[in-house]
Amino acid sequence: ASRLLAPRRPHDRKAAPYECGIIPGRETPERFPVRFFLVAMIFIVFDIEIVFLYPWAVAHGGL
């Protein structure tokens, strides 16, 4: 709701990174590419799947 109702007053100082009162010495680094995020999400999904699949396989291993 605040995004819709808040006043919009863009300013260069508001967009600049804050470093505890110290003027930044260089530009901020670029953000991580999306592919790193996708690889991390796929890893987490398969990691969670293994957490549930391993106990099931151990319990039903004698069949």
E strands, 1-63, where?
A: none
pTM, two decimals, is 0.43
Confidence label for 22 from pLDDT (cuts 50, 70 and 90): confident
Cα distance between residue 54 and residue 57, in whole Å: 5
Contact between 24 and 17 under an 8 Å Cβ cutoff? The reply is yes
Q: What 3-state DSSP class applies to 19?
A: strand
> Does the structure show a pLDDT above 90 at 34?
no
- More confidently predicted of 52 and 26: 52
Retrieve residue 51's tokens: 């957490």
> Could you tell me which residue, 45 or 27, shows the higher pLDDT?
45
Q: What is the pLDDT of residue 8?
A: 78
Distance in angstroms (rounded) separating the CA atoms of residues 4 and 7:
8
What average pLDDT score do residues 19-31 get?
72
